Amino acid sequence: MTIEQTIAHLQSEFADFPDWEERYSHIISMGKGLAPYREEFRTEEFKVKGCQSQVWLHPSITENAIHFEADSDALIVKGLVALLMRIFDDRTPKEILDAPQDLVHRLGLDQHLSNNRTNGLASMLKQIKLYALVYSMTRTT
């Protein structure tokens, strides 16, 4: 499934919930499904800057893709992290870098999250793209 297809699938999934409270609960339940985060990566090096809550994002580079492990200390943020993982985990750097910039808007998250949460989500997305950029640059040299 491409990133665009994953976004469309998430849009459809969110449309199944008639109100924002149900979507919010769904996002939280997504976070509960994240794989346990390894304690050795719960460090400043992997902490996402710009998030109100604590968020950790650890990339593992495979031959063709980037695998992410992630966690947060806040339930809703952990759910948002899980949502981003559904979109970006195990993708090539090119796929990540070519992903649409209006992702948060397309999923309708900007309408219901606080400015701090929206900014934190943007910081997570920026960090994911930064990892992809660094990886793509190291692969060409």
For residues 67 and 90, what is the distance between their CA atoms, to the nearest angstrom?
Answer: 5
Which of 48, 51, 96, 99 is flagged as catalytic?
51
> Could you give the CA distance from residue 1 to residue 9 in angstroms, rounded to a whole number?
10
CB under 8 Å to 110, separation ≥6 — which residues? 104, 118
Where do the H-state alpha helices sit in the chain?
Answer: 3-15, 20-32, 75-88, 93-97, 103-106, 115-140
**Is 51 assigned a catalytic role?**
yes
Q: CA-CA distance, 113 to 138, in Å (whole number)?
A: 36
What are the residue numbers of the active site? 51
